[in-house]
Structure 1
């Protein structure tokens, strides 16, 4: 079996010192670009892989990002988070970072889990999901100066204009705005919105985009994240002879319910647009807004690490504290 390449081998091929190779691996921002490129080429040529355990002892870092997964709640929209975690794992690996996935039933249990992981030195930073107004997880992390980024806005005073912590989110209003404009051009001005009950930051944001682009005769329909409830809400609107040219929905789950109600009412031609662009929407031929979770993953790592390969505590600063990803409308005939 061939001997695995060492740091000394990389240094010899790149014609630099062993310390320079170490700097490229651990603190690349202090190395001149030309030198860093030469070392990286030598690493690629030799197929060198740093020893993770040794690196952790040397740098006192685990090279690991902890990612929280929301509890499984059924439905069809979990694919977005799945794609995000896969993309984050892949892109973190390119930066020589690992991803540790942990679960918790509620915010307090998650705080305890984060405490265990930080006290044990198992992670360098966290990515939290499912943010909400008054989220105690962000306060706990900020008070302990633990690096983190949230997938989702804080939905409160700590928000877009004066963010207190780092976050990446999808611009839901931009997505439904584009969907509503498309629906008005394709079907007519009476574009209804089927959304969740008021009070959800994400849902309210998506409703805002529809209102900004909708016509004066637009109708707002409400249902929880349930296909059958969405179907009943749309069927009720049809039974009352509510004039509807198209329906923009807050999720693909709601869109599937709307499509079923339209089919039952003999309105197979009704334009229904969902949100999330799940495989279910694609299979049914529904137009949908795609969140682009891969771009969210890129934004998370950029905020956590910048151009480097290590994570360090960093406070939010004006203009650099958040990434708002613009989704794209996937139109289907």
Structure 2
């Protein structure tokens, strides 16, 4: 029977002590970079895998991060959290961490699940998603002393600079501003915004990006910007009906949208109206946007997952940091998204060859 390599084998091959190998695996920041690289090279060459159960018993760490599995929704943009979960799981595995999924019907149920996880000591940290103003999970986790990071900033909260709340978020303001500037540079001036009902923290932030870009180029009042705004629920049919009513008024010549779901509804309405060169830009860069050739703002989900783990574990770390160990003055990351320019219209690819994407 083949013998699996041991930590002693790694130490001997790398000419270091057993403790140094353990430090490279569990606290790499205390090991010199040259030594750390040499030990990791030996680990890779020998195919050494530390015994997870034994390591947990010795360290009293579970090497596990918990995250709620959100309910299935019909919205196209729901795929963003699926992509984040997949990326987080893959990146965590690279650091010897596991991801534990749990379900909850609402925030109160989620708090009950978090209490159970805390009491059983099954996890070292929690990842929150879908944060909102007055989110009760945030103060509870801080009071409970459970390390956590949220995908989503603490909207309306005063403790967003606290090391107790580490968060990463996409800069929706910048993403929508850049999308609007893209259309403005092409000479389009009457650009509308198709967003969610007022009061959505994320939606309102994205609308501010559009409004800022419009004010930079065109002297518009708040009332005039409101006339160019259409608000709908996160629904393809609702967006489609709203844009069907908007197009005959000839108020706008392009639309920047709060999500790919509403952007798809807008594209369907535009197609039916025969406005073949009416640009529509979405947000999220979902597979649907890619399939229909729609320009969209990409959230850089893999970068967000890496940032979340860096905030929890430290850069390249393999153990959850306590609040006292967080050295960053502002323990959060705001990731700049990227505008992905595609056809943005309903011309067939062959018909549109050689033309600027999204042209009017």
- Which residue matches 1:75? 75
Q: Does 1:42 align with 2:42?
A: yes
- Which residue matches 2:20? 20
8 Å contact from structure 2 (residues 179, 256) kept in 1: yes
8 Å contact from structure 1 (residues 69, 129) kept in 2: no
After TM superposition, the structure 1 = structure 2 runs for residues 52-201 of structure 1, keeping only pairs within 5 Å, are 52-158=52-158, 165-186=165-186, 188-201=188-201
- Encode CA deviations 1:249-288: one digit per residue, 9 max, x unaligned: 0001111111111122221210000001111111111111
8 Å contact from structure 2 (residues 10, 43) kept in 1: yes
Cα distance in 2 for residues equivalent to 1:9 and 1:164: 40
- Encode CA deviations 1:223-256: one digit per residue, 9 max, x unaligned: 10011111111111123x2421100000011111
Cα distance in 2 for residues equivalent to 1:29 and 1:317: 13
Q: Matched residue of 2:77: which SS?
A: coil
- Which residue matches 2:6? 6
8 Å contact from structure 1 (residues 162, 318) kept in 2: no
The CA deviation at 1:37 is 2.0
8 Å contact from structure 1 (residues 153, 159) kept in 2: no
Q: Matched residue of 2:145: which SS?
A: coil
Select 2:272's aligned residue among 239, 244, 264.
264
- Which residue matches 2:355? none
Gaps of 5+ in 1: none
The CA deviation at 1:70 is 2.1
Cα distance in 2 for residues equivalent to 1:23 and 1:143: 31
8 Å contact from structure 1 (residues 65, 100) kept in 2: yes
The CA deviation at 1:22 is 1.7
- Which residue matches 2:229? 220
The CA deviation at 1:210 is 0.3
Moved more, 111-120 or 4-13: 111-120
- Encode CA deviations 1:40-84: one digit per residue, 9 max, x unaligned: 122111100011100110000010111122222212112211111
8 Å contact from structure 2 (residues 132, 201) kept in 1: yes
The CA deviation at 1:162 is 6.7
The CA deviation at 1:318 is 6.8
Select 1:324's aligned residue among 316, 334, 337.
334
8 Å contact from structure 1 (residues 126, 148) kept in 2: yes
- Which residue matches 1:306? 314
Q: Matched residue of 1:77: which SS?
A: helix
* TM-score between the two structures when normalised by the length of structure 2: 0.88
Cα distance in 2 for residues equivalent to 1:244 and 1:274: 16
Cα distance in 2 for residues equivalent to 1:93 and 1:305: 13
- Which residue matches 1:207? 207
> CA RMSD, aligned part only?
1.7
Cα distance in 1 for residues equivalent to 2:163 and 2:49: 38
Gaps of 5+ in 2: 344-360
8 Å contact from structure 2 (residues 161, 330) kept in 1: no
Cα distance in 2 for residues equivalent to 1:317 and 1:194: 41
Q: Matched residue of 1:301: which SS?
A: helix
Cα distance in 2 for residues equivalent to 1:159 and 1:140: 13
The CA deviation at 1:159 is 6.5
Cα distance in 1 for residues equivalent to 2:163 and 2:95: 26
8 Å contact from structure 2 (residues 162, 330) kept in 1: no
* TM-score between the two structures when normalised by the length of structure 1: 0.95
Aligned residues: 332
